[in-house]
A and B are shown apart, each in its own frame.
Chain A
Amino acid sequence: MMAAADELAFHEFEEASDLLAETPDAATTSGSNQLTPQGHVAVAVDSGGSYGAEEEVEESDRTALLQEEKQQPGFWTFGYYQSFFDVDTSQVLDRIRGSLLPRPGHNFVRHHLRNRPDLYGPFWICATLAFVLAVTGNLTLVLAQRRDPSIHYSPQFHKVTVAGVTIYCYVWLVPLALWAFLRWRKGVRERMGPYTFLETVCVYGYSLFVFIPTVVLWLIPVPWLQWLFGGLALALSAASLVFTLWPVVREDTRLVAAVLLSTVVLLHALLAVGCKFYFFQPLPLAHPAPPTQAASLSPDLPPPP
């Protein structure tokens, strides 16, 4: 019985995840099945255990049921969108951790998303990043004014809009372009299919997470430290993107692979540098004094007798 329990435990197979990548709609069955039902990907477990014919029938029944369950509801139903939010707290935290610590062998999409991309992470990470950018940008102005009272402080609320629009456009349009490009080049690759659009959005969204603590650390008004943190964050984020894209792109020609990866990194760097300059401007020029009518209406002045 112990041997059977061991075989039934979940084993991670590199081969299995690659095979699953090729045919994402298939369900995997494990066990030394002699017959493989059509459309199924069978991974042979070389355990020497023998399963009876009844068990094989049971397995194929169950996997047939699983395949039926995977039918997506239509895009006009609420259930369709609910399938993109089918994550637990622990899964989201695990994906965030995976994006923070990219490793060369670990493919974010395969190992963390496991073909179940979610929209919760990208959406709320972008929202958080937009608000944190606006808030810390404003805070640097406050701190600068404390040191140099001639600087005119204002809440600068319009920056929230700018931040939000920029980040959401980045996380939606760049993956769209990337996905379209990879699909166009699909003919060159034999082994692995390209990522779906949602998986690309997911990768980009989670890769932006590392910028949130960085932006908070940019409050420290030491310029070289700011560039250091920025560089570190950019390296981590871009590395996570590159390691994810590398398995898909390495089948292609050298030129296309190099150009694609460098474009991805360049766009990411542009975003980081642009945010740094727009929201954390080197101290703004001292504004001219407010117009004289406002000054005379200011409540600080005593009313004329």
Chain B
Amino acid sequence: MAEAAESSGDPGTTSPRPLFAGLSDISISQDIPVEGEITIPMRSHIREFDSSTLNESVQNTIMRDLKAVGKKFMHVLYPRKSNTLLRDWDLWGPLILCVTLALMLQRSSIDSEKDGGPQFAEVFVIVWFGAVTITLNSKLLGGNISFFQSLCVLGYCILPLTVAMLVCRLVLLAEPGPINFVVRFFVVIVMFAWSIVASTAFLADSQPPNRKALAIYPVFLFYFVISWMILTFTPQ
């Protein structure tokens, strides 16, 4: 201990002594039992957490996932630069949105096979393959976002367009005419812009700076095609 005090007295001149240098002189006698319990609070917390998700009720599980999905919906509706969508990504939201959109967009069975709007499968394929292509494109350009994070963001940002589809369906129940069309057009344009702004807010930061436009343009094309499908939807 004396040596340690000396070395701390003049720091610059001598080489630093190893910590606890004096402890090697202490010997432990054989008859003192060295035993006890070491509890790491975090580990026990995790074990407790694991068993609780197994034993919890189904309602709890579903509500937890639904709350996560709902929280992300809020993030899309009020887009700020935040990391929530990227950090805790999930694909439930995109699946729900895609199925809703495809169900609403599919042509009725009375339509002729050849000339009608998209089928359920076509909408589904366009949404998912479009999202996969855009993700591959941004990764090939050198973006540092993971595959599923990007799919998650693109899927969640379809929410404004799904809302537009709902509104369009309601508006179509009224009298057909030019006002009808103008209202639908306006709603779709606003929601299209909202989707683009939301997805740009989340995705733009992960792209290399001189290629941002190259990565964002396919997103623009993707939402444009979906908006087009919504706008040209005519119930028979």
Give me the interface of A with B, judged by CB distance under 8 Å: 78, 81-82, 84-85, 87-90, 92, 120, 124, 127-128, 131, 135, 138, 153-158, 294, 297
Q: Is B79's CB within 8 Å of the partner chain A?
A: no
Contacting pair B211 A88 (CB below 8 A): yes
C-alpha spacing A35/B233, complex, angstroms = 72
Q: Is B4's CB within 8 Å of the partner chain A?
A: no
Q: Is B169's CB within 8 Å of the partner chain A?
A: no
C-alpha spacing A128/B213, complex, angstroms = 15
CB distance from A79 to the nearest CB of B (A): 10
CB distance from B15 to the nearest CB of A (A): 42
CB distance from A150 to the nearest CB of B (A): 16
Given the known inter-chain contacts A92-B214, A131-B224, A294-B110, please indicate yes or no for A85 contacting B115, CB distance below 8 A. Answer: no
Contacting pair A120 B117 (CB below 8 A): no
Contacting pair B221 A82 (CB below 8 A): no
Contacting pair B217 A138 (CB below 8 A): no
CB distance from B147 to the nearest CB of A (A): 11
Contacting pair A89 B225 (CB below 8 A): no
Q: Which of A78, A85, A156 is the one whose CB lies under 8 Å from B141? A: A85
Contacting pair B214 A120 (CB below 8 A): yes
Provide the B133-161 mask, 1 if CB < 8 A to any CB of A, else 0. 00001011110000000000000000000
Question: Which residue on A lies nearest to B114, using beta carbons?
Answer: A158
Given the known inter-chain contacts A124-B218, A131-B221, A156-B115, please indicate yes or no for A89 contacting B233, CB distance below 8 A. Answer: no
Report chain B residues within 8 Å CB of A135: 228
Interface residues on B, range: 20 to 34
Q: Is B7's CB within 8 Å of the partner chain A?
A: no
C-alpha spacing A138/B116, complex, angstroms = 12
Q: Which of B141, B212, B228 is the one whose CB lies under 8 Å from A120? A: B141
Provide the B75-114 mask, 1 if CB < 8 A to any CB of A, else 0. 0000000000000000000000000000000000011101
Provide the B183-206 mask, 1 if CB < 8 A to any CB of A, else 0. 000000000000000000000000
Task: Find the residue from A88, A89, A124, A138 having the highest chain B CB count within 10 A.
Answer: A89
Q: Is B232's CB within 8 Å of the partner chain A?
A: yes
Contacting pair A87 B214 (CB below 8 A): yes
Apart from A155-B234, A157-B118, A294-B110, 11 more pairs, CB < 8 Å: A82-B140, A85-B141, A88-B210, A89-B211, A89-B213, A120-B141, A124-B221, A131-B221, A131-B225, A155-B232, A294-B236
Report chain B residues within 8 Å CB of A82: 140, 142
Q: Which of B122, B142, B221 is the one whose CB lies under 8 Å from A157? A: B122
C-alpha spacing A120/B213, complex, angstroms = 12
Q: Which of A81, A87, A88, A154 is the one whose CB lies under 8 Å from B116? A: A154
C-alpha spacing A131/B141, complex, angstroms = 23
CB distance from B129 to the nearest CB of A (A): 11
Q: Which of B110, B118, B140, B214 is the one whose CB lies under 8 Å from A155? A: B118
CB distance from A90 to the nearest CB of B (A): 7
